[in-house]
Structure 1
Amino acid sequence: MTDAAETELPRGVALAWGVAANPQRGPKREMSVERIVEAAVEIADAEGLAAVSMAAVAARLGYTPMSLYRYVTAKDDLVLLMQEEATGLPSEASRIAGSWRDRMQVLYREQVQRYLEHPWVLDVPITGSPTTPNSAAWMDAGLHALADTPLTHEERLSVMLLVTGHARWTGTVLAGYARVERERGVSDADITRTEDALYRRLITAEAYPDLRAAIDAGVFLDESDPFAFNLDRSLDGVAAYIAGVDKGRRAERAPWTGMDDADIADDKKFREARKAVRQAEKALRDARRGERQAAREARERRARQRGEK
């Protein structure tokens, strides 16, 4: 297996982590990777990802394309940095909300909101697992939400991907409708009524009996959230799986007595051991929070240093 320390970081990834070498020449204080990415995101938000080019970004900043290449050497690297900027960081609420399910739902809603704010992110090709700081923070938050469950690390990752997939699909559909609303100057209610009217005109009971029955029942005029329903049912399945795993593992721990943790909850040494575990888990969470804060501050210092050179 390749030693991680020997793996060469792609330029875009190195820029995202703040460990890439600074340009040796070119505009000093007036130009920075951060300004370039900010300008590119502004173009994408206004006109879509296809409108972003090194020339367009340079023109927006008042420089030549060659000036940009001293900082970001390829458009693919720029798109990676744009995606990192648009992704942002999950909120603290995703780490402190009640149950694992509450935390996963917070992450879902926040991811959907990011897609609505920057819909062009959905057009960025998926080429592999994310390896940038903000993407890693979302993954960490999802795994943290499940840290108190009996799931294995692999199972936690799978659940995180389940919720991420729900968020991406929801974002794809809602962003598409939002684009139609902007371009046609119509409301969501107008689109819904038009769709219902078209279905009622085109779908007959003879050709599509079940679909027609659903139309007559008003499914396309219903105001409930089908995406939230889908997520809830998926999480119901995860909860049922967790309950089964938890029960099976408790039985494995004490097969000779048939007892689980509830049966020994009043044992003093057991209570003390469980308390020590909770304290250690809290200390680990606090340490990780401190690590994330230190990383943010380090990146900010590095960015300021680059801007001063």
Structure 2
Amino acid sequence: MTDDADLELPRGIALAWGVAADPQRGPKREMSVEKIVDAAVELADAEGLGAVSMAAVAARLGYTPMSLYRYVSAKDDLLLLMQEEATGLPPAPEGQTTGWRERLRDGFTAMVGSYLRHPWMLDIPITGSPITPNSSAWIESSLVALADTPLTQEERIAVTLLVTGQARWYGTVLAGYASQARTTGMSPEQITEREGALFDALISADGYPALRAAVDAGAFVSDADPFQFGIERILDGVAAYLDALTAGGERPDRPSWITLEDADVAGDKKVRDAQKAVRDADKALRDATKVERAAVRDARERLARHPSA
């Protein structure tokens, strides 16, 4: 950790690392940051993130909200500590011979599991890297798994983001299906069948020929797991890149795509208006294409009925 005396840690991060000053007043023996966080996590697990407030957590513990504020002074800090608690530690490697691919896959699976146990974590907005002990341990675990590869430090971080991003997306979808199952009483199989039926009823070959072909092939009612397929292809790509580096291949130039500057102008009214014009033009093109295909189909049917016409 840095020795910079001028660096002032945000309260939530200081609490997570255990370096925050203790409160000067309050029911010290009965109350603690740990008890507050545990109660908040239990509440979120039972009722969702929307149920978590300082008042609700205080009531769960049998104290007033002001008692909590002496320990956790802001709800954002509480959410950070809840996320830290629910994230936990990454899985330890099972043996010294475990390779980078197996370790990253194990981490991916464990991360998805944490989202399923605590789906409310997915509702916490991402505002930057969560610089907390457990979150740092997950990054450390991935970097250690890649330590013996020829990847640069930047590339190891990039691979880590690939795996964690896929895990978050997978967790988001699974948590959404689980929530739908609870609220509707439908089984996962029934939800899949219903979605397949909706695709079958609404997707036409005229408007969406490629998507219609996927529907007809049973892609939306298949028991194949697209996210497991995806993580394996991600790891295949990393393996191929490593093989190329080992064989003496050159690293590609850094691409320049989306930047923070792009995000800064995204809210500009002229930019929004231009983007809406593009969307409207795209929709008009799709509608015109649909009309064209329908006309072509009708013409072929007429020719089939009256070949000499």
Shared fold per TM-score greater than 0.5: yes
Asked if 1:81 is matched to 2:81, the reply is: yes
Name 1:51's counterpart in structure 2.
51
- The amino acid that maps onto 1:112 is V
Name 1:209's counterpart in structure 2.
209
CA contact (8 A) 1:83 1:121 kept: yes
Aligned to 2:55, the other structure's residue is in SS state helix
**Distance verdict in 2 for CA 1:31–1:78, change over 3 Å:** same
**Distance verdict in 2 for CA 1:107–1:5, change over 3 Å:** farther
Q: How far apart in 2 are the matches of 1:64 and 1:10?
A: 24
Q: How far apart in 2 are the matches of 1:125 and 1:94?
A: 33
Name 1:38's counterpart in structure 2.
38
CA contact (8 A) 1:108 1:163 kept: yes
CA contact (8 A) 1:94 1:106 kept: no
CA contact (8 A) 1:94 1:141 kept: no
Q: Shift in Å at residue 249 of structure 1? A: 7.4
Name 2:122's counterpart in structure 1.
122
Q: Shift in Å at residue 96 of structure 1? A: 4.8
The aligned runs of 1:130-149 (5 Å cut-off) are 130-149=130-149
User: Residues 186-231 of structure 1, C-alpha deviation per residue, up to 9 Å, x if partnerless?
Assistant: 1100001111111111222232222112111111111111001111
Q: How far apart in 1 are the matches of 2:204 and 2:125?
A: 39
Give the TM-score, by structure 1 length: 0.77
CA contact (8 A) 1:95 1:141 kept: no
Higher alpha-carbon Rg: 2
**Distance verdict in 2 for CA 1:190–1:28, change over 3 Å:** same
Asked if 1:224 is matched to 2:205, the reply is: no
- The amino acid that maps onto 1:244 is A
- Percent identity over paired residues: 66
Q: How far apart in 2 are the matches of 1:95 and 1:78?
A: 36
Q: Shift in Å at residue 94 of structure 1? A: 7.0
The aligned runs of 1:1-309 (5 Å cut-off) are 4-93=4-93, 96=96, 98-248=98-248
Name 2:289's counterpart in structure 1.
none
Name 1:272's counterpart in structure 2.
none
CA contact (8 A) 1:23 1:71 kept: yes
Runs of at least 5 residues in structure 2 that lack an aligned partner in the other structure: 251-309
- The amino acid that maps onto 1:147 is A
Name 2:272's counterpart in structure 1.
none
Moved beyond 3 Å, runs of 4+: 2-5, 94-97
Q: How far apart in 2 are the matches of 1:211 and 1:55?
A: 49
User: Residues 249-280 of structure 1, C-alpha deviation per residue, up to 9 Å, x if partnerless?
Assistant: 79xxxxxxxxxxxxxxxxxxxxxxxxxxxxxx
Q: How far apart in 1 are the matches of 2:204 and 2:27?
A: 67
Q: How far apart in 1 are the matches of 2:140 and 2:211?
A: 42
Q: How far apart in 2 are the matches of 1:83 and 1:165?
A: 16
- The amino acid that maps onto 1:171 is G
Give the TM-score, by structure 2 length: 0.77
- The amino acid that maps onto 2:74 is A
**Distance verdict in 2 for CA 1:94–1:112, change over 3 Å:** farther
**Distance verdict in 2 for CA 1:96–1:75, change over 3 Å:** farther
Q: Shift in Å at residue 4 of structure 1? A: 3.7
